[in-house]
Amino acid sequence: MSREEYRVIEEKMGKTIGVLKDELNTIRAGRANASILDRIMVNYYGTPTPINQMASVSIPEPRVIVIQPWDSNVLKDIEKEILKSDLGINPNNDGKVIRLVFPIPTEERRKELTKTVRKFGEEAKISIRSIRRDGIEQMKSLEKSSEITEDELRNSEKDIQKITDKYTEEIDDIIQSKEKEILEV
């Protein structure tokens, strides 16, 4: 198997890790995290626009996000979109800025969040294993067409498994870190 084929497999697995991290950033763990606003779009002069492109977003305290729009006319629109979203937080609008205060999650809510985190982790592992399977199938087809030998096939299967193990371990570390973050709030 050429370096290029291994690189493609690693690249795909790396993208899976990136998607997992993005998904985990949207989980509210009781601490303020500006990335939870990334999915909320506000109609800004007829164009759906992310909040961070129309306002300054800051975190002055661990459980507070402050949104200060550059154009105060969109304050109400931002507030309306936050209320419509699945954040479950009531925005505090003082006419100049919007404050989002994150309550400390209950024990039950923390357990739900850790289940969600594990689910995202398992989905990422399934994706990694699927990439591994595709890589091995590709090698088997090369062996069938006599482009590589049986020994080269076995070696490439071992190499692909090593890459898979590395990324699976990284997923476990990411999940463990996120669970710790949720449970320590």
Among 172, 169, 161, smallest CA distance to 9 is for 161
For residue 64, the SS3 value is strand
- DSSP letter at 85 equals S
State pLDDT tens for residues 162-174. Answer: 999 999 999 999 9
Q: What are the tens digits of pLDDT across the range 31-79? A: 677 777 888 888 888 888 888 888 888 888 888 889 999 888 888 988 8
What's residue 51's pLDDT?
Answer: 87
Per the prediction, the chain carries an average pLDDT of 87
- For 137-163, write each residue's pLDDT tens digit: 999 998 899 888 889 989 999 999 999
Structure tokens at 143: 């062996």
pLDDT at residue 95, rounded to an integer: 86
Task: Using alpha carbons, select from 19, 25, 28 the residue that is nearest to residue 171.
Answer: 19
The pLDDT value given to residue 84: 85
Answer for the pair 95, 78: CB distance below 8 angstroms, yes or no. no
92-120 confidence digits (pLDDT tens): 888 889 998 887 778 888 888 889 899 99
Which domains, and CATH codes, for the chain?
3-26+106-183 (1.10.132.20), 34-101 (3.30.1360.40)
Burial of 60 (0-12, 13-18, 19+ CB in 10 A): exposed
pLDDT at 166: 95
Q: What is the pTM of this model?
A: 0.70
